[in-house]
Structure 1
Amino acid sequence: MSATFQVGIVGVGNMGGAMAQRLGSLGWAPWVHDLDAAKLEGLKPFGALAPADIQHAASNSVATIVCVVDAAQTRDVLFGPQGIAAHLQPGHVVLLCPTVAPEDVEAIAAQLAGFGVDAIDAPMSGGPARARDGSMSLLVAGADAVVARCEPLLQALSNKVFRISTRPGDGARTKLVNNLLAGINLVGAAEVLALARRMGLDLARTLNVIGQSSGQSWIGTDRMRRAITGDLAPRAHMSLLAKDTRLAQQAAQSVGFEGPLGPLAAQVFAAALDAGLADLDDAALLQFLERHPC
């Protein structure tokens, strides 16, 4: 197989759009689709194509990256009234990038197999900037032969491809474990900075100390830098970690595990959504905890 091949991306929000820019910069010219036409227009300067008939585009492609929000949207893209699965050639590979429940990944992969289509469980982590420069983490679970067919694409997307297992669903499990810790770390970072402000400390200086000391976490430093300056333009919506921490708790319950911190973090994110912060960046957790101490 050549170094590049025809690939599509369905869902070009923050992460999908950044991946399209990444592939475009490397000469892949991916086709893209999204319900927001403005997003498609914004990607054309990067070499992306925006076909009117995505079923036809998908049928002539080697792989399709699905980068929507949840399992319901994924099923609609693949199996809904305008779904592409029935139009894909045998051996086509669908990369499932949303953070969804492991059982949903397993069920979707099995349904795709009924069409002769292969699936790679490929959730990602790191945010749009890292997706754009190819340094995001890509968690890959799928049959060895299928992954090998998509190796050029995986390497183009990320220089941090983690081979999790041959079983679709294990990528989702790994992502949920990671994102639960991210949620715990973010709640902790927002809590201690809310405390620091109550103590009369300068938050920027306090965060400088934390960032170089034992309390450091990447997500805490990244989000709290924005929160301190009031920059809450959504790079990662509050609703995403609310969903991910909830799914992580469901996964924990399915194996009979309950930790002390995960349920609390999930409750904080759920409360933030109830307070109307779903569409803000999750950096807004600082202001939320200052106004609504849990």
Structure 2
Amino acid sequence: MRRYPVAVVGAGNMGGAMVARLCDGEIPVVVCDIDPLRQQQALAAGASLADTPALAAAMLGEEGLLIVCVVDADQSRSVLFGAAGAADRLLPGQTVMLCPTIAPQDTESLATALSERGIGCIDAPMSGGPARARDGSMSLMLAGSNLLLARHETLLARLSSRRFFVSERVGDGARTKLVNNLLAGINLVGAAEVMVLAERLGLDLPATLDVIEQSSGQSWIGSDRMRRAIAGDFEPRAHVTLLEKDTRLAVETAQAAGFDGPLGASAAAVFAQAHAAGMADLDDGALLTLLRAGRGQSH
């Protein structure tokens, strides 16, 4: 059986971009994904395929890295410890890199279960979107032992030119990502709100966004999503459900820490309303449509 330095479970928008990036660097990769289209894209990029996470893990080399790039904690748990899960075929000395945005306690729980088997864990949420994952400029928020991070530095550098070493405490990457994504959610709700206001005031939306992008109201996510939304492009690069999940998790984490801020819960409510309005599978720039219709009230 051929041995690979990297296995990727979950080759969707972000995972697939990471696979292509690794393959461009002539790093052998084996991919597991249940979607036939994603499988074909992985093959076209130069990766090999495995039918299950367990088979992907079995194809790793002695110090191989298994990248979990699925949506949530339940999927992560299933990939690692479910039927045909990877953990049963991973060997002591190998490493799992957790990339989904999940609650810190879920990251800690998974890392503990892996540690009991002698398997290392890097807490590594991502940010920046598929285009930046493809060109290696996405952000990685890394938490884990310095020894483990040093061992995989070459691969991490290939994946990201913006690596932030948060701490050695697994779970702090997840905490950092939730803080970031709560602000992203607040910024996106705000951007959609002011675009609807500009429209009601009779302003030209692309011209207004030009001004905002060079002024104090600028935010990356606002510009990225509103440019597409103004053009009527809601093809999902990031589904509404992702920031719905992330803002909810962030608010729950804040509450557990005894903090109740003025904006986070309001933003989370708007994403939940977009989902309820039938926009779950649209790009999250669809908040513009929600607010145009006079829905998405945050109070």
What interval of TM-score do these two structures reach, taking the shorter chain for normalisation?
over 0.9
| Residues 197-256 of structure 1: CA deviation (Å, up to 9, x unaligned) | 111111000000001111000000010000000000000000000000000000000110
1:43, distance to aligned residue in structure 2 (A): 1.8
**2:23 matches 1:21:** no
Q: Per the alignment, in what secondary structure is the counterpart of residue 181 of structure 2? A: helix
- In structure 2, C-alpha distance between the alignment counterparts of 1:280 and 1:186, rounded to whole Å: 15
1:101-112 aligned within 5 A: 101-112=103-114
- What secondary structure is seen at the aligned counterpart in 2 of 1:52? coil
Query: Following superposition, which runs of at least 4 residues in structure 1 exceed 2 angstroms of deviation?
Result: 51-57
CA shift digits 1:1-28 (9 cap, x unpaired): xxxx610100011000010011011111
RMSD: 1.2
State the SS of the aligned residue for 2:278: coil
User: 2:248 is matched with which residue: 204, 229, 246?
Assistant: 246
Q: Do 2:52 and 2:85's aligned partners in 1 also have CA atoms closer than 8 Å?
A: no
Q: Which amino acid aligns with 2:18?
A: M
Task: Kindly provide the amino acid, as one letter, of the partner of residue 176 in structure 2.
Answer: T
Distance in 2 separating the partners of 1:185 and 1:102: 23
Aligned 8 A contact 1:23 1:29 in 2? yes
Please give the alpha-carbon distance, in whole angstroms, between the structure 2 residues aligned to 1:59 and 1:250: 37
> How far is 1:285 from its partner?
0.6
TM-score (norm 1): 0.97
Deviation at 1:114, TM superposition (A): 1.5
Which residue is equivalent to 1:214?
216
Give CA-to-partner distance per residue, 1:145-169, whole Å, 9 cap, x none.
1111111110010000100000110
Q: Distance in 2 between matches of 1:133 and 1:95?
A: 20
2:221 maps to amino acid? I
Partner of 1:192: 194
Deviation sequence 1:7-62 (CA, Å, 0-9, x none): 01000110000100110111112111111022111121211111335424313410
Aligned equivalents of 2:203 and 2:184: distance in 1? 25
Find the counterpart in structure 1 of residue 84 from structure 2.
Answer: 82
Q: Say if 2:44 is the partner of 1:42.
A: no
Count of residue pairs the alignment pairs up: 291
Match of 2:135 in 1: 133
Structure 1 residues without counterparts, runs of 5 or longer: none
Q: Separation in 1 of the partners of 2:238 and 2:192?
A: 16
Tell me whether 39-48 or 66-75 shows the greater mean CA deviation: 39-48
Structure 2 gap ranges (5+): none
Alignment match, 2:6: 7
- Give the SS at the match of 1:31: strand
Give the % identical residues. 59
Q: Which whole-Å CA distance do the structure 2 matches of 1:106 and 1:53 have between them? A: 24
2:94 to 92, 96, 108: 92
Give the conservation status (yes or no) of the 8 Å contact 2:123–2:174: yes
Residue of structure 1 aligned with 2:204, choices 196, 202, 205: 202
Work out the CA distance in 2 between the residues paired with 1:292 and 1:50. Answer: 47
Change (3 A) 1:54 1:98: closer
State the match for 1:235 in structure 2.
237
Q: In 1, Cα distance between the equivalents of 2:41 and 2:121? A: 28
Contact 1:86–1:115, Cα closer than 8 Å, also in 2? no
TM-score scaled by length of structure 2:
0.95
2: CA distance, partners of 1:54 / 1:287: 39
Is it true that 1:146 corresponds to 2:131 in the alignment? Answer: no
User: Which amino acid in structure 2 is aligned with residue 216 of structure 1?
Assistant: Q
Contact (CA 8 Å) 1:125, 1:137: kept in 2 or not? yes
Distance in 1 between the 2:10 and 2:50 partners? Answer: 14
**For residue 43 of structure 1, what is the amino acid of its counterpart?**
A
